[in-house]
Amino acid sequence: MLRALLVVSKHQNQMANTKSALKRVRQTKVRTAQNRAIKSNVKTSRKSALAAIATGDAAASQAGYNSFASAADKAAKRGTIHKRTADRLKARMAAKLKPAATQA
């Protein structure tokens, strides 16, 4: 019993104990959830763009790339990913798109 109380009290020191710290904990939870959703959207649009490029359809590939580029730019604008990271992802996607566009 005493051991259980020691474990509980040990972890209580890690809890925020001011109003502002509690608010920051709440804000962090909300922002983390938002950032995860935004990153997930970027990854999903990237996968769908790669799938469209794999089909070889030039119009679908371009539409997929445009959707992915928009999602990456929005994530960079929000600060979820760095601007140069978004640029790098878009450049790599464009490099994959170029051979698909020339084949069609």
Architecture of domain 29-103 in this structure:
Up-down Bundle (1.20)
pLDDT in the model for residue 2:
53
> Is residue 41 exposed (0-12), middle (13-18) or buried (19+ Cβ within 10 Å)?
middle
Indicate the pTM of the whole model.
0.77
pLDDT in the model for residue 80:
97
* pLDDT single digits (tens) 17-56: 899 999 999 999 999 999 999 999 999 999 999 999 999 8
C-alpha angle 29-13-8 in degrees, rounded to nearest 5: 100
pLDDT in the model for residue 13:
53
CA distance 32 to 50: 27
15: left (phi over 0), alpha (psi -120 to 50) or beta: beta
Is residue 82 predicted with pLDDT exceeding 90? yes
pLDDT in the model for residue 29:
96
CA distance 6 to 8: 5
Q: Which of 64, 41, 69 is nearest to 52 (CA)?
A: 64
Is residue 68 predicted with pLDDT exceeding 90? yes
pLDDT in the model for residue 79:
96
- Tokens, residue 20: 């502002």
Cβ neighbours of 99 (radius 10 Å): 10
